[in-house]
Amino acid sequence: MHCKCIMTTYLAAKANAWNKEFAQAHQVFGNMNNHGSRKLVTCEPGYKLIGDSIVTCNYGQWSGDPMCVEETVSTPPEEQWVSRIRAFSSEWSSEYWSAKQVIGPPNVYPQYLDSPSAWSIGKNKLNSRTEFLELVFTKPVIVKRVDIYETFNSGSVTSLEGLHLLDDNWVILWSTVRAQHIKAARIFSPQLNVTNVFTNVIRINMDASVSQSYVEIDAVQLVGT
Ligand SMILES: [Ca+2]
């Protein structure tokens, strides 16, 4: 079985030295003698990762034994709906228009509608520029795309962040200087600036002040490998 892996540029920038022994099989960066250091292992297209994506150096031994094996049938990227709400800036109520209305597949889209089945900002938040949702998905992936199902007063999203599980740092995946006000439902999938973040936690930052109305999001899908 042929093995071939690539390291993300994120870690490559931090790398001190090659871990030669490990790199022969997995091509990961890092200092092999550094106890407690963690590495992210990813596979090139056409290869599938078997085992954990993150390995930890434990007194000279790597935890787990991830491998990249050639795929006989290429697997499509993982597509996941929100499974849990981690945090939110506000919500219209604890039930209708609540943050938990974002969980699961869309049930308002493609309608453009003020619907209690979508999350809405709180009652006194029409001028708020600092609204956010922190969303948890079941399986961590290398983030390729985030689809935001906007169903009322679209266009408020100003940036997207991913909580990189390797070091628990928020990484900005996409941002814009100005929010918009679009009176139509849409699936917003911005072109990400960073495509090497490994996570199952996404934060959506919004500016509601542009629309001066209730900003609503029906569902969010995370796409990655
Ligand atoms: Ca919904």
Strand partners, 171: 162
The residue that leads in pLDDT, 142 or 9, is 142
Q: How far is the CA of 173 from the centre of ligand 1 (A)?
A: 23
Q: How far is the CA of 171 from the centre of ligand 1 (A)?
A: 26
192 secondary structure, DSSP code: P
Please say if the pLDDT value at position 19 is more than 70: no
Of 1-15, 81-95, 157-171, where does mean pLDDT reach its minimum?
A: 1-15
66 secondary structure, DSSP code: -
Secondary structure element (H or E) that encloses residue 68, with its range: strand 67-70
Of 99-103, 150-154, 165-169, where does mean pLDDT reach its minimum?
A: 165-169
Q: How far is the CA of 134 from the centre of ligand 1 (A)?
A: 15
Alpha carbon distance 105, 79 (integer Å) = 11
Alpha carbon distance 150, 187 (integer Å) = 6
Average pLDDT over the chain reads 83
Alpha carbon distance 19, 167 (integer Å) = 19
Which pLDDT score, from 0 to 100, does residue 163 have?
A: 95
Which pLDDT score, from 0 to 100, does residue 179 have?
A: 97
The pLDDT tens digits of the residues spanning 118-134 come to 999 999 999 999 999 99
Query: pTM for the full model?
Result: 0.78
Q: How far is the CA of 88 from the centre of ligand 1 (A)?
A: 15
Q: How far is the CA of 97 from the centre of ligand 1 (A)?
A: 9
Q: How far is the CA of 219 from the centre of ligand 1 (A)?
A: 5
The rounded percent of the chain whose pLDDT value lies above 70 is: 80
The pLDDT tens digits of the residues spanning 181-216 come to 999 999 999 999 988 888 999 999 999 999 999 999
pLDDT grade, residue 38 (50/70/90)?
confident
Q: Which of 219, 204, 202 is nearest to 104 (CA)?
A: 219
Q: Which of 32, 24, 25 is nearest to 56 (CA)?
A: 32
Q: How far is the CA of 78 from the centre of ligand 1 (A)?
A: 20
Q: Which of 183, 122, 179 is nearest to 156 (CA)?
A: 179
Q: How far is the CA of 106 from the centre of ligand 1 (A)?
A: 5
Which pLDDT score, from 0 to 100, does residue 115 have?
A: 98
Secondary structure element (H or E) that encloses residue 23, with its range: helix 20-26
SS3 label, residue 219? strand
Please say if the pLDDT value at position 69 is more than 60: yes
pLDDT grade, residue 39 (50/70/90)?
confident
